A and B are shown apart, each in its own frame.
Chain A
Amino acid sequence: MNNQEKLALIEETLEMDEGTLTPETVLADLDEYTSMAKLSLIVMFDDEFDKKVTGAEVKAFETVADIMSLMEK
Chain B
Amino acid sequence: MSVFKSSGIGIAGVACAVPKNNVPVESFTSVFGEEVTSKFTSGTGIKATFKALPEQTASDLAVDAAQELFSHIDIDKSEIGAMFLVTQSPDYRRPSSASIVQLRLGLPIDCSCMEINLGCSGFVYGLQTAMAMMSASDYKYGLLLMGETATKLVDPLDKSIVMMYGDAGAAILLERKDGVETTSLLRSDGSRYKAIVLPAGGFRDMNPGHERFMCSDGIERSLYDIFMDGTSVFSFSISDVPQAITDYLRLTETTVADYNAFLFHQANQFIIKQLIRKMKLPNDQVPLSLDRYGNTGGISIPLTLCDAYGDKSGEKLKALICGFGIGLSWGVANIEVDTDKIYPIVQTEDYYKEGKLIPGQY
Report A's interface with B, CB cutoff 8 A. 34-36, 38-39, 42-43, 46, 52-56, 58-59
Contact = CB atoms under 8 A, between A and B. Distances in A.
Interface residues of B, number: 18
Contacts of A55: 195, 229-235
A42 B43 contact: no
A36 B39 contact: yes
Contacts of B278: 46
A39 B43 CA distance: 10
14 contacts: A35-B43, A35-B230, A36-B39, A36-B270, A39-B234, A39-B270, A42-B238, A43-B274, A46-B278, A54-B232, A55-B230, A55-B235, A56-B232, A59-B216
A54 B213 CA distance: 24
Contacts, number: 41
B234 A52 contact: no
User: Shortest 10 CB-CB distances between A and B: which pairs?
Assistant: A55-B232, A55-B231, A52-B239, A36-B43, A39-B234, A58-B231, A55-B235, A42-B235, A38-B231, A54-B235
Interface of B: 39, 43, 160, 195, 216-217, 229-235, 238-239, 270, 274, 278
Nearest to A40: B270
B239 A46 contact: yes
The secondary-structure label for the interface of chain A is: helix
Given A43-B238, A54-B235, A59-B231, 5 more contacts: A35-B43, A35-B231, A36-B43, A46-B238, A55-B230
Nearest to B217: A35
Contacts of A34: 39
Determine which residue in A39, A46, A53 has the highest number of CB atoms from chain B within 10 A of its CB, and name it.
A39
A52 B235 contact: yes
A43 B229 CA distance: 17
A42 B231 contact: yes
Contacts of B217: 35
Given A35-B230, A36-B270, A43-B274, A53 B39 contact: no
